[in-house]
């Protein structure tokens, strides 16, 4: 589960609103490509913050935010890839959400995106890539850094709750619990329980 925080000016994942359930939007998200790095590639990063900083820089270099794009689009070199939102993170730590990632550069690339924390056996960070690759049926440019992998995320359904204001880890956890209660009270929706965290 994730949260969008702030004003998002970048492309966000394509979706169709299918209806509402208990005041929540039911959205069908289209398949998408992500560029992803794993904590296994950063053995020197001892904390979540160190990994997040290093991973973000690696992915930013891949799309060409701070430098010449570190990817191979064709024989002539790399392709600058537009920033999208959100930045997605997974972690084996039980952290519901961190503060938003905020990036500004001299190239007028402003980005305010949430960091979405989930559970898993390792830490990962992913940039959702622009929909133009999926729409054209073509693979995104190949990364030059072997720590960056390109993955296709299948289409999926999500129930979405929106709110204004700020959110920290405890607030995020509370909102998730409220969301699950809302859904259960409104219907016979079933949830898959993550065996590692015992949470939906």
Is 167 strand, coil or helix?
coil
Percent pLDDT > 70 in the chain is 72
Confidence band for 195, pLDDT divided at 50, 70 and 90: low
Cα(15)–Cα(30) distance, rounded to whole angstroms? 6
Long-range contacts of 178-182 (CB under 8 A, 24+ apart): 179/1, 179/24, 182/22, 182/23, 182/24
pLDDT in tens, 128-187: 999 999 999 999 999 999 999 999 999 999 888 877 777 666 787 788 888 888 887 876
| Beta bridge pairs of residue 151 | 34
| Beta bridge pairs of residue 74 | 77
Helices and strands (DSSP H and E) totals, the chain: 3, 11
């Amino acid at each position: 589960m994730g949260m969008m925080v702030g004003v998002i000016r970048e492309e966000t994942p394509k979706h169709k609103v299918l209806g509402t359930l208990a005041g929540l939007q039911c959205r069908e998200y289209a398949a998408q490509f992500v560029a992803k790095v794993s904590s296994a590639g950063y053995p020197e990063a001892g904390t979540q913050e160190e990994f997040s900083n290093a991973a973000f820089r690696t992915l930013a270099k891949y799309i060409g935010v701070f430098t010449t794009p570190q990817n191979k689009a064709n024989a002539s070199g790399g392709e600058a890839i537009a920033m999208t939102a959100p930045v997605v993170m997974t972690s084996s730590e039980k952290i519901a959400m961190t503060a938003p990632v905020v990036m500004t550069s001299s190239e007028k690339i402003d980005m305010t995106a949430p960091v979405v924390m989930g559970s898993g056996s390792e830490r990962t960070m992913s940039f959702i890539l622009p929909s133009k690759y999926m729409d054209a049926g073509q693979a995104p440019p190949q990364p030059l850094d072997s720590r960056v992998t390109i993955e296709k995320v299948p289409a999926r359904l999500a129930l979405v709750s929106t709110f204004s204001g700020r959110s920290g880890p405890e607030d995020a956890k509370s909102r998730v619990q409220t969301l699950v209660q809302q859904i259960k009270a409104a219907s016979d929706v079933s949830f898959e329980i993550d065996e590692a965290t015992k949470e939906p």
